Structures are given as C-alpha cells and as structure tokens.
Structure 1
Amino acid sequence: MAKKLVIIDTDCGIDDAQAIMMALAAPNIQILGITCVFGNAAVENVCQNVLRVLSVCEHDGIPVFRGSVGPLLGDSNLCNNHFGTDGLGDVIAEQDPQWEEKIQKEHAVNAMIRLVSEHQNQVSLVTLGPLTNLALAVRLDPCFPQKLKDLYIMGGNMEGKGNVTLCAEFNFAMDPESAYIVLEEFLCPTYLASWEYACRNSLTWEFFEEMISQDAPAARFMKMITSKCWAYSKEVMKQKRDVYFGPGFVSYDSYVMAACIDSTVVAQSIECPVRVEVQGAIARGMMALDRTNELKKSHSVCVMTKCDVAKFSQLLLESLRQPYNK
C-alpha cells in the first residue's frame, strides 16, 4: 500500500518531539519534510530540536527547513516557558556546532509550497505550532490550500478555555491573524485537535511512566527531556490544567498526529464552521464553533471530540521504541 505523504510544521517542544517520533514510527507515513516555526522556543532552537529528534530515531535524511521567526503582526510577547527556554526541558548541555549546515537553505514557506506543488492533492499537512508559515504560504500562492490533500491542526479551543490567556489556546494565541487566515482560506478537508480535546482524552501518569521507561533510545531521550520540566509534573498540573479537566498526562501534539496516522483514533467529532477572534482584550485568539450557522460560511472543519485512548496509547508506546534495530 502506498504511504501517506506528510509535511510536519512544528515549533518543536517536548510534545512536538513526541508527535514527530510517532510519525517516524508509523509504517504508513512518509515525511517529505519538516518545516520549523517560532512558538515553544525561538525558531533556531526549534530547528536544533527537530534535528535532535531525527538523530535519536536515526532518520537524519529527512529535510528540515527554517521558517517564521514571529507572528504576522507585532511581536510574540506571550511569556512561554512551558517546555523550558530551549523547548526541550533545558537539560541538553551539548550543542551541535554544525547544526546550521544541516538545515536546508530554502525557506520553510517556499519549501512547503514546492513540495505540495510537486505532489498535488497527495500531501497531508500536519501543524503542531502557530500557523504563521501556512498563512504566508497562502499569501505567496493563493492556490496552495487546494493543492493539499488535507490539513491537520493542533490548536484552538472549543469552550473558550485558555492555557496562556483566559480564552485562547497557545498556538492560536501566538499568532491569531495567521490562525484566522488559515481557517478562513484553507478550504481543503481540515481536521482540528483542540486543547480541550487533548485534555479531555488524557492518559494516566502511570502510563506516562511506563512509556518513558521502555528500553529504547527514543524512550530514554523522552525521559531525559521531561525530567526537569514542570509541564510533566503531576503536582504542578494540579494547579494548572487539572482545575479544568481533572488529573492526567497529556501529550498535546500527539493527538493530531495520531489522527493523521489512523483516522479511527478519532472516535467522535463535530463538523461545523469555525472562526478565530482577532480582537478583544479577553477573547483574542479564541476559536468559536458555529454550530447554528450564524456565520453563513460554506466551509466546515472536523473538530475532534472523543479519542480511542487504547489505540492512541499504543501509538505512543510504539513511538518510543525507536530505533528498532537497537
């Protein structure tokens, strides 16, 4: 069976690393390239983090492209240390002095347009960070969205619950204008894993310990980068996420990657138009679901609501058993 062609757009933090590993482990996925964007860390750190993940899993041949350093408008002024200042928990002391030589010279947005144009209606684009690269792509090539097979987005929210502002999820809050553009102008089949979807389908902390304790390089890498990160502390999460959703381990970006790999992981979803709010002191960056057709939009999005956690758990476990020849 032909493999599914995928481009991953990422702001590689710890959960992005997990999602990328999941794609690398999937036998039905061929990654054409990984495009980097600011978000969990500066784009230079993001590039290095992607290279580290590929190296650990022995997939160094996948091309990595540097992309947007900030949002379409203004500065990225949201304080974010969710995964440490470097995006991978601030535990990696050794730096690769040659990392820039391993990054492709072509800009991420140009690479995205080129790769999709070379494989029209065959590429699934999976986004794990702010949507800046995608917004720029549609401005450079207005036909870009219709050349995609489909689009998978981790971001936004369903209930107005925020994780960096009162009402907005991190990826959308970092660049609301780009999120607005993408959800208005990308009319290809679109599948969205919101913050609430991830949190309401959490796994146990006992599963997390089992997952990172496997005897494989990828699992040891994940155990290292989560070792000092407060976002992977059961006690810290009691004061933050658990107030809304109760206790549990959540690997946010992995949920959307799992949906791309195996559509049956999504047990239930809502099909409806959505819009991102770009104004307002409280609601900027919030995604609204239009289930009563108030907006009169022609394009609907598949918003995931319920996950088959057994299938999802298996994909997570398998992702940390790499490389398989060790």
Structure 2
Amino acid sequence: MKKLLLDVDTGVDDAQAIMIALSSPNVEVLAITCCHGNTPLDNVLKNTLRVLKVCNKLDIPVYKGFSKPLLESKRNAGDYHGMDGLGDVPDPDAPGVELLQKEAAAQAMVKIAKQHPEEVILVATGPLTNLAVAVQLDPSFPKKLKALYIMGGNNDSRGNTTVCGEFNFVADPEAAHIVLDRYNCPTYIATWEFSCRSSLPWSFCDEWLSHKSEKANFMRKITALSMKKARSAEYQKEVIAGGGFNPCDVFALAAAVDDKFIKEKDEVAVTVELDGKHTRGMMVLDYMELLQKQHKVFIMKTVDSERLKKMLIKAIN
C-alpha cells in the first residue's frame, strides 16, 4: 500500500484528485492538510470535508494549515472555481469544522513523516506554504519522505495568473522557492503547460459526467461553473493551448498512485524567480546547469491518458 499525505487548497480539481486517491485500491491516505489558494482557507477546510463525506471517508484526519502566503498578497481563483471553491453549490448537510484535527498542518506533516520514515508520498496541489514551514520546523523532514509530487510551476514561461507565472507558485513564490531548494527527496512536477498539453477530450468529459452515482452527481454539480468557463472561446484561446478538459491537480496525484502513468520526463535542476517584474513566481529550469544544484527534479512531459481516464471513472463510481 502506498501511503499518501495530501496537501490541498480544495477547489474542483483538488476534489477530483482526492477522489482518485480515495478510490485507488493500492493507496492509504494518511491525512489531508489544507492551505490557502483556490479559495480562502475556511472554504478549503469545508470543501475537503465535503469531498470526504461523499466518499464515506470522514475518518481521514484533516488539518488546518496557513491562511495566507509567507510574504505575497493573498490570491484566490474564485472566478474559475466559484467563490466557495466548489462551484458555488452549497450543501446544507455539509460536515462541520468540529471534525478538524487540533494540530496545525505543518506540525502534522512532520509528525506523520516521523511515524512512517521513507514511506510517505507527499502530493501538493496548492500553494506550497505548509511545505515551506514544515521544512523550517524540521530540516530533515524531506529526507523522511519517499517522494514529493507537485502540481505547479511552468516550463515554458507561459502563465495562467501573471504573464509568466502559474497560480500555485505565484500565490506564494517564497514558499515555492524554499521547497524547490530544500526538498531533496525524489520530486516530480506537473507544470501548467504540461497539463494543458495533456488535456482530455471534451467528449470524454461529457461521458464521465454522465455516470449515475452519488459521487458522479456531486462531481456534476461542483464542476458546472468551471466547465462552462473552461469551454468558453475566450478561455480556450487565451489560457489553454490546444483546448480540452484539463484537471490540473489530477496529474500530480495520478503520477503518485500509478508508477506507470508517466511515460516521458526530464530530469533537471529548478528554482523559482523571486525578483523579476514580470517573472516573479516563475519556475526556472536549469538545463545548462549554471546553478550547480545537486538535486534535480523530474518534470513530467507525457503521460498515459487512458490510465488517467480509468482513474477518473473509478473515482466517481
């Protein structure tokens, strides 16, 4: 069994990633830590509990993380995910936040890694604030992890939030810089442009959402707003190269649960630009090895789309 620790900013694609993890037979989700990002932290916490409820997994511990970045001004993606982060379709019977653990997210991360040395796979699908603080609390924390999978950053300097910046890294550039500098465990990154190029056909998306189950009904409701936005001509032209259904966070999660999912990858040293007027928050790939960094990460290039489709279908059945 793979032991996963999920760090999320639960919007629609985080919800999809969580549901894939919970439906994977070879996976044990040890805990979920929450961070600011797609929506304010209070919404992230409620959304995470809603996802666990529909999956009958409210026994999984959920921890409250940071509500703001280390230095950057707070951002959210309410225009895409909805103001509540889950498509603005509230559930009157949603679980209450009294179910949350008392311990803070960063401390919980460190504790869980100590309890399962070199077994925990950390999957981060939001801003990296919790991860940055965890390594400050315990500099040996990354060495205790089996691997780290990140959805964030970019490899072609094409932004979705700023000119050159992807949302998760732009939302907390300092945190992203700390993580890419100090996490020396095997690290895999699903970048923004990669996820765009790996988008699934809309025909699959329509078929996927037509399934009949409680989970599928939940998915139809929470994705309606973002799907409308994603299918708009303006969004397809300006943001997504090539078009299609792009469940960004799912790519990092899928790679973590299925070792055969990644077909091609680059191994390269990376960092994050902190000072540029137009490039703050942009991930920099050092193919010339001028940074002389010993630790290199794996940048996903191509993946097995058929495996991804099967995971998405299993997640809502």
TM interval, short-chain normalised: over 0.9
Question: Any idea what SS the aligned residue of 1:264 has?
Answer: coil
Task: State the distance in 2 between where 1:258 and 1:77 align.
Answer: 26
- Structure 1 pair 215/78, CA: closer, same or farther in 2 (3 Å)? closer
Task: State the distance in 1 between where 2:208 and 2:85 align.
Answer: 20
Q: 1:183 aligns with which of 159, 180, 183?
A: 180
For these two proteins, the number of residue pairs brought into alignment is 316
Letter aligned with residue 44 of structure 2:
V
Task: State the distance in 2 between where 1:308 and 1:164 align.
Answer: 27
Q: 2:294 aligns with which of 291, 298, 303?
A: 298
Letter aligned with residue 133 of structure 2:
L
Q: Paired residue for 1:163?
A: 160
Question: Any idea what SS the aligned residue of 2:207 has?
Answer: helix
- Deviation sequence 1:58-113 (CA, Å, 0-9, x none): 111100001000001142146642201110011115264x6121011111111111
Q: Paired residue for 1:324?
A: none
Q: Paired residue for 1:194?
A: 191
Is 1:240 the counterpart of 2:235? The answer is yes
Task: State the distance in 2 between where 1:120 and 1:102 align.
Answer: 27
Is 1:94 the counterpart of 2:89? The answer is no
Q: CA deviation at 1:190?
A: 0.3
Task: State the distance in 2 between where 1:294 and 1:30 align.
Answer: 40
Query: Percent of pairs identical after alignment?
Result: 44
Task: State the distance in 1 between where 2:26 and 2:177 align.
Answer: 31
Is 1:212 the counterpart of 2:209? The answer is yes
Q: Paired residue for 1:275?
A: 271
Is 1:139 the counterpart of 2:136? The answer is yes
Q: How does 1:1-326 map to 2 (within 5 A)?
A: 3-77=1-75, 80-94=78-92, 96=94, 99-227=96-224, 229-236=225-232, 238-243=233-238, 244-321=240-317
- Structure 1 pair 34/294, CA: closer, same or farther in 2 (3 Å)? same
Structure 1 runs (4+) greater than 4 angstroms displaced: 77-80
Q: CA deviation at 1:221?
A: 0.3
- 8 Å Cα contact 2:39/2:77 also seen in 1: no
Q: CA deviation at 1:234?
A: 4.8
- 8 Å Cα contact 2:37/2:77 also seen in 1: no
- 8 Å Cα contact 1:57/1:217 also seen in 2: no
Task: State the distance in 1 between where 2:243 and 2:209 align.
Answer: 19
Letter aligned with residue 26 of structure 1:
S
- Deviation sequence 1:233-257 (CA, Å, 0-9, x none): 4542x32244451220110000111
- 8 Å Cα contact 1:83/1:231 also seen in 2: no
Letter aligned with residue 64 of structure 2:
R
Runs of 5+ unmatched residues, structure 2: none
Task: State the distance in 2 between where 1:297 and 1:93 align.
Answer: 48
Q: What's the TM-score once normalised by structure 1's chain length?
A: 0.94
Task: State the distance in 2 between where 1:232 and 1:177 align.
Answer: 33
Question: Any idea what SS the aligned residue of 1:173 has?
Answer: helix
Letter aligned with residue 190 of structure 1:
T
Moved more, 210-219 or 126-135: 210-219
- Structure 1 pair 47/100, CA: closer, same or farther in 2 (3 Å)? same
Question: Any idea what SS the aligned residue of 1:152 has?
Answer: strand
Letter aligned with residue 125 of structure 1:
L
- 8 Å Cα contact 1:205/1:234 also seen in 2: no
- 8 Å Cα contact 2:38/2:76 also seen in 1: no
- 8 Å Cα contact 2:157/2:164 also seen in 1: yes
